A and B are shown apart, each in its own frame.
Chain A
Amino acid sequence: DAGITQSPRYKITETGRQVTLMCHQTWSHSYMFWYRQDLGHGLRLIYYSAAADITDKGEVPDGYVVSRSKTENFPLTLESATRSQTSVYFCASSTGTRGVNYGYTFGSGTRLTVV
């Protein structure tokens, strides 16, 4: 199916474990983003990527690692999960062209609970 898919939808993990959240898009969009959503903070940018092998930090990158070896995939890894990383994580993608209604397309999110 075309679109942007995130997996898993729900994940419970223990403190200190490594967790990888997956994001796959079928449009060949050049830009991809990871946000976390927390009550009172809205959506905060963790990492973003302008193309394969080009990534950069956002507002809240500490404790996270990303890679982008292929245009369509942008996995997010929590190297050693902490309770403060309990959140809903959204992946998004966009073209590089700023048209009239330029915007991101978001996935459905991954709800991560760290216990």
Chain B
Amino acid sequence: QQQVKQSPQSLIVQKGGISIINCAYENTAFDYFPWYQQFPGKGPALLIAIRPDVSEKKEGRFTISFNKSAKQFSLHIMDSQPGDSATYFCAALFSGGYNKLIFGAGTRLAVHP
């Protein structure tokens, strides 16, 4: 019930391609869905986030697509660059109680030149 399932575990994309990472959840008490980006040796950093009343949010080359009925959301990275190579985590936040974020297992993205 508290899980956020993320796939794939790893992803290799050529420079200029589209990277797609998917997440799914069960608990309808989640009401906020951020994505975090983590470079080696660093802590995760907020990349982009969406609320369930919106179906899509775009910031530069990064887009979140949200399907409330399917309880799924995804991150699309357009024109992927080698500098995008990192681990990406989706997460979900409960609507009540201590602002707890539940994270997916992470996707290690490698963008090859």
Q: Which residues of A contact B (CB under 8 A)?
A: 31, 33, 35, 40-45, 48, 50, 56, 58-59, 90, 92, 94, 96, 98, 100-104, 106-109
Contacts and interface: CB of A to CB of B under 8 A. Distances in A.
A106 B43 contact: yes
Nearest to B4: A42
Nearest to B101: A104
B47 to A, nearest CB: 9
Contact of A104 (B46, B102, B105): B46
Interface string B70-113: 00000000000000000001000100001111111110000000
Given A56-B98, A90-B43, A108-B43, A40 B32 contact: no
Interface residues of B, number: 24
Nearest to A109: B43
A106 B99 CA distance: 15
Given A48-B98, A58-B100, A98-B32, A40 B42 contact: no
B2 interface: yes
A11 B99 CA distance: 30
Contacts of B99: 31, 94, 96, 98, 102
28 contacts: A33-B101, A35-B103, A41-B105, A42-B89, A42-B103, A43-B44, A43-B89, A43-B103, A43-B106, A45-B101, A45-B102, A48-B98, A90-B44, A94-B99, A96-B99, A98-B32, A98-B93, A98-B99, A102-B32, A102-B49, A102-B93, A103-B34, A104-B44, A106-B45, A107-B43, A108-B42, A108-B43, A109-B41
B103 to A, nearest CB: 4
Nearest to A100: B49
B19 interface: no
A98 B31 CA distance: 11
Nearest to B31: A98
Interface string B27-44: 000001010100001111
A42 B106 contact: yes
A10 B36 CA distance: 23
Contacts of A43: 44, 89, 103, 106
